[in-house]
Amino acid sequence: MRYFLELAYNGKNYFGYQIQPNQISVQEVIEDRLSKILRKQISIVAAGRTDTGVHAKRMFVHFDYEEELTAEIIKKLNSFLPKDIAVYHLFLMDEEAHARFDATSRSYNYYISPFKDPFSYESAWIFNRELNVDKMNEAAKLLIKQGDFGSFAKLHTDVKTNICDVREAFWRKNENNQLVFQITADRFLRNMVRAIVGTLVEVGLGKISIQEFNDIIEQKNRSSAGASAPAHGLYLVDVQYSKELFKNELK
């Protein structure tokens, strides 16, 4: 039987989501605890990967297990997992449901604190130079399209195409006076959100004009764009699926 787990993690202490030799990863820790609880080697497949230090407020993974499970697993997992990983919901799915392939889009938030904040230096980018948010929003609108986002892709990766369909990209202020960038797309290239944020911040500083930002997109060349914003401000905040997939939450 196939199960989906909804979970969240603080990326601070992990070398990214994906399992790798000699470095601790979120995937490894979840697989280890789940395997111990179910007394069987369990592999999980996630909606996507997050890089070293990047967080997830809402991530989905799937795994297979031959017996019927109940929400009791949620409680057990939360007590076995470290403080920085939490699981919230368990769903029994159709056999062919797939956490990665069935995801229709992903949403990320990037947090910037415009003042020194003793409570968010690990969860937001502390950036206390003045930013023109209107200009940053004007530039962000240019990202909303289906197109080649190679300008914001990590070089030398093995993806076949840089085409992404960006459906939402804007800045807002939250209740803590932080600047929040929200972006939704069908898929993201490695390092894409951090490269976009780094470049939009240069727009906000007046170093890059809106026209130049548009040129950077068109050039499809990573070296044109600005530096990447730091990992610790970035959060995967949602993964969208067709609602029909989630018929059976186990309570």
Mark the binding-site residues, compressed into ranges.
108
Q: Does 117 bind its own copies (CB under 8 A)?
A: yes
The interface region with its own copies, picked from 3-11, 144-152, 177-185, 209-217 by CB under 8 A, is 3-11
Q: Does 129 bind its own copies (CB under 8 A)?
A: no
Among 3, 5, 10, 17, which residue sits at the site for its own copies (rule: CB under 8 A)? 10
Give the bridge partners for 85, in sequence order. Answer: 9
The annotation places the binding site for substrate at 108
Among 83, 129, 243, 251, which residue sits at the site for its own copies (rule: CB under 8 A)? 83
Number of residues engaging its own copies in binding (CB under 8 A): 20
Among 66, 119, 156, 251, which residue sits at the site for its own copies (rule: CB under 8 A)? 119
State both tokens at 251: 């309570």
Give the residue numbers marked as catalytic. Answer: 51
Q: Does 90 bind its own copies (CB under 8 A)?
A: no
DSSP-derived letter for residue 152 is G
Q: Does 175 bind its own copies (CB under 8 A)?
A: yes
| Residue (of 45, 40, 79) closest to 60 by Cα position | 45
Among 57, 58, 100, 154, which residue sits at the site for its own copies (rule: CB under 8 A)? 57
Quote the CA–CA distance of 35 and 69 in Å, as a whole number.
14
| Residue 122 Cα distances to 55, 187, 189, 198, 232, angstroms | 11, 26, 24, 18, 6
Considering only residues 37-56, where is the footprint of its own copies by CB under 8 A? 55
Q: Does 156 bind its own copies (CB under 8 A)?
A: no
Q: Is 40 helix (H, G, I), strand (E, B) or coil?
A: coil
| Residue 77 Cα distances to 83, 195, 202, 229, angstroms | 11, 35, 43, 33
Q: Does 84 bind its own copies (CB under 8 A)?
A: yes
| Residue 72 Cα distances to 4, 77, 78, angstroms | 14, 9, 10
Quote the CA–CA distance of 219 and 57 in Å, as a whole number.
33
Neighbours of 49 (CB within 10 A): 16
Q: Does 92 bind its own copies (CB under 8 A)?
A: no
> Which residues contribute to the site for its own copies (CB under 8 A)?
8-10, 55, 57, 78, 83-86, 88, 115-119, 121, 123, 126, 175
